[in-house]
Amino acid sequence: MGEKRGNLVKLIYDFDTSNMCEIGMTTEKGIKWYRVTAKRFRSWDGPRRLTGPKEQPGHGVKAFQNIEMKTVEYNGPLYLYETNIEKVFKGEEKYIETITETDEEVYVRRGNRL
């Protein structure tokens, strides 16, 4: 039903969406990491990392008890939220939403209202 909201294009995910997506926010004690959805992760203009298992676990309860995880810094492309429009990474630690001051002329509707 996304077509009713104008979401007609399939979003590009340049990473494994089954991994845990985390964004980093700088605090007085260093970087604090927060889990987010893959859709939010691709539009965060700040530190990003992915955490997932090193290998596929086997079957049964014992296979899931000691799973080794790996965490990888993500330096992939940055997209406007809910679009496939790439933006330049600036490290401002904020979400790149669809309408910003610099993009207004692209998104002007009839009557010059956003």
- The pLDDT tens digits for 41-85 are 999 999 999 999 888 777 877 777 788 889 999 999 999 888 888
Give the long-range contacts of residues 23-30, CB within 8 A, separation 24 or more: 23/47, 23/48, 24/48, 24/49, 24/93, 25/93, 26/93
Q: What is the mean pLDDT of residues 17-38?
A: 94
The structure's pTM equals: 0.74
- The confidence band for 33, taking pLDDT boundaries of 50, 70 and 90, is very high
* pLDDT score, position 45: 94
* pLDDT score, position 59: 80
